[in-house]
Structure 1
Amino acid sequence: MKCSDSTDINYRKEKNHRYWNLFDLSGKETNNDQSFSLNKKQEEQPCFPTRNDRVSFINQFTIEDRCKTLQNYLNTVLKHPKFREHIATKEFLEVSSSSFVQGLGNSAKEGAIAKRSIDDIRGRSIFLRVPFICDKLRCHHAEKWFVLKDSYLVYMDSDSALIGFPMLIDKAFSIKHDYRKTSTNNGIKIKNLQRSILNKFEKKDDRDTWFGCFINVKSKSLFAEQNSFLSYAPRRQQQYAHWFINGQSYMEAVAKAILAAREEIFITAWFLSPEVMLIRPCDDDSMRLVDLLNKRAEEGIRVYVLLFKDPPLVGLNSRYARLKLMAKSPTKKNIKVIRHPNHIVIPGTESSFLFSHHEKAVVIDQRIAFIGGIDLCWGRWDTDEHRLVDLCDENITELKLPNEKSDQLEEEIQKEEAAVGVTEKIAENSIIDNSISGEHCGGKCAQTPGCTHFAWTKYNGGTCWMKTGGASKSDAFATSDPNMVCGVIANKPENKASGTTTRYWDCCKPSCGWPGKVSGSNAHVKSCRRDGYGTWSDGNVRSGCDGGEAFSCNNHIPWAVSNQLAYGFAAATIPGLSEQQRCCACYKLDFTSGPVVGKSMIVQIVNSGSDVSANQFDLQIPGGGVGIFNGCTSQWKSPSEGWGRRYGGVSSRQECYNLPPAIRDGCFFRFDWFKGADNPNMVYSRVQCPQELVKRTGCSRND
């Protein structure tokens, strides 16, 4: 039946029905009513347009008109909810749910094909193969929707779009279509390094079309060629990669990547310990793997973990790891864990008893992959020093007998007791900060705010040692007392000045991040790439606020050292000091107003503060307002006014969840340690920069 006939019948039914309904009102239906009813029906059920023009009357105009009519019809079909999802529409257009997923690439061909997995019966006894003998009945074939991409083939269920199995186009990828290889008519046998499948077609033309597509895709794929060194992947140029030698740097990078995840986290491991601490030292459990994954899962990130299902004899305790991880994310339930394989031995079949998953990988958003041989478990965390113990600062390089250990301990106690009298020997213009063993005196001084030099007399000589950067030898406290171990001397505080604080976070490259901004040095503050982690070695990269690719680093956020002390970064203007004299200098802020009275914060100046008033420290706090510059929209796609107000930023801790996870802790700092203080007053003084700040910025001063 033609479309017009169907419409006529429906229309007459609608007309009669409407005539009787309207009879009591008007007695007759108008021509306008009839046209409206017809158009409405055609919109609800689009029909294929038909024309009866003779061939002799067809010209270019009628062809274009027909094309436009056909185009409108197809668009109407796609707008209709039932027709759009109908299998006939998908087969005609050769599209599916995977056709429009960003990042998967274009489909070379799609369609429904009858399929049988040949390796479903591999390794089974002859008795289990009986149901598959009768090929003509096709009882073992199932119709699946196949999608051929540029580097892989995948099939899925036609109704649910559930992916069955992806086949990579690798160096063993082959396609056969002759009867001798497929043992079936109109079939194609596909094989790669992983498995084999057999596709069966009703028509020879369909088989030949698909076979041609397979050959075309394979000929263009780099993965189908033999790679250098027999590698599974081809050689690529200009790839971003970083080598990790020890667990310390590797686990810290994994933790930061997990915090930066935006969609999903995938982990596969031979051995996984949920309680392993990824970043050490840490004052709380936030850097434990299980707590880190729980935090991200509750924030909406999907976490997938694949563990080797070890036999009890191996002792990896994967069952405990699975239960521990699955117990997390109670509200979102975003942590999924699979253990594989099941070690079952059945006579006459292949067994996985001697098989184990030995891959170690962490994949973030299918964008960053950590691959190699380091499991996230106990015993893998190590530093470059390779200490024998993880209990103290001593690097034990040799074994000692029990009596030797006791003698050494007694000697150390005597040294510590002798060091108590050090405070009486310090010059009047200096104060003692600590007394420790001479071996670590310099390191302690470097970590002590305000420390400029130290005194140390060796037991065997009476030599005075200077901290690198000390003014002169006479500035150190010299003594010949053999009992004196180490006096770490901190200069008395400079003259203090009163000032005010504000807050900001504009994501821009620090103004102290350009070479030549530190007087007498080529040092400059680190700037980072768009992800906030990778740093630029070139200090001349243009700022993201000026259309460039350099931004503020994710770790340039404030953090609490204790209940009374915090570290951070700021933009500041100090009267009488030029930009070159201010950049990378550290100041201690003693707060005198608001809920932070009695607390102190040591900040390093990373921005010169061209728009900051004298004696004003603009604290760098995520969510503090972008101010006059806004690089956050370019870096994080934040709103045009930043998060919250342009000046002042967010107004509650809950609003911090609108920020990227990588800098969210800095926003929490404002409402936790900083107690939500709004621009408190303070008294500031110049101090020596703590190493924790210098390590993050890569910038220090010699004055």
Structure 2
Amino acid sequence: MSSEKLIAEDVMRSDEPRYGSTATLAWSGSFVRCGENDSIFEELPKATIVSVSRPDTGDMSPMLLSYTIEVQYKQFKWRLLKKASQVLYLHFALKKRALIEEFHEKQEQVKEWLQSLGIVDQVAVVQDDDEPDDGAFPLHNEGSSRNRNVPSIAALPILRPTLGRQQTVCDKAKVAMQGYLNHFLGNLDIVNSREVCKFLEVSKFSFSREYGPKLKEGYVMVKHLSKVTGDDDVGCFPCQWFSCWSNNWRKVWAVMKPGFLALLEDPFDTKLLDIIVFDVLPTSNDDVKSQVYLAEQIKEHNPLYYAFRVSCGSWSMDLRVTSNGKAKQWVAAINDAGVGAPEGWCYPHRFSSFAPPRGLNEDGSQAQWYVDGKAAFEAIASSIEKAKSETFITGWWLCPELYLRRPFESNPSSRLDALLESKAKQGVQVQTVRSLFNP
């Protein structure tokens, strides 16, 4: 499989001087991935084509094929359903970035040559304001841009008309797509680009263990968030009177987790714009019509728009997507994540609690929960007795004459000072932090 270099071998040096605001090297039109601190992937993920399907039509065009892709990164696994048109868009987006970066690098080389001759002091850099349709905006980095290979012929087996039986067509498309994924997923720079991260539906919140497993993510439109920012221009006055001209919907990145739905400005951003936290839904009858869900599709006045609403308690949020299929996928994903047992927060929990059981051995938690003080004190005594090298104790009103086991008449060795003294004689270091409040 042949490939083409994204950019030339020469790269821009990070110690080059900047010349003016318009000639700054942080060119807004270059689709270079973020710095290492902003990278999402620390290592290469693995992607496998699980299945290939197409609608039941007489058209044998490969553009109608849909690919189920299973992606694994560290301990996280998730599945993506992508159409051939989406893969084609990713391919052209990467090729567009290649051309822009190559043009920018050649322009910088010419600028260095002119400045070395003292001909010009400033060279204007042409800005590329044509942002991709997926809502991502370009960002530039001064790091190395070498070894970025994107196959140009690899996409041809996906697009070339294929003749034969349906199973044969699907098998050929599966092999071609697997080869294409393996090629560009083998480069960490390309994997961390905005185009690929958007395609893989990942963000800075995707792989944080404290937030739970990796679930659905992607761009959506919301109306309740203000579009006014420091860089936005003020719209004209007449446009504010016509809804067809003044678009109040804002494109944001939605992150789905078992306990919440978060909105971000961008997949590489960590600042929350808004969040809706899931709570236990009210119990409903066995009747399907009366069943309560977190998300449901809503009708728009304009039939070209597709929207759904997420509601929990007194909070609700309307979101819009670009197709009816995407709206159904979001509704199904939100309802499955919120109500699905056992990690779903909307599922009826033990003892009518607002949260799922935590501190269990299954989730690897070191903390334990106790019903009363007797069980807690016995566990503290057992932990101190099992100490081998060090014991650390902190708390309010720490009394050395406190008995940890009941009844205290038959357990004199369980008194805290006696227990710590015996462990200190065995060579165990005892450290205590006391919080005293003087009136």
TM-score by length of 1: 0.28
User: Rg: which structure is higher?
Assistant: 1
Structure with higher RCO (Cα < 8 A, 6+ apart): 2
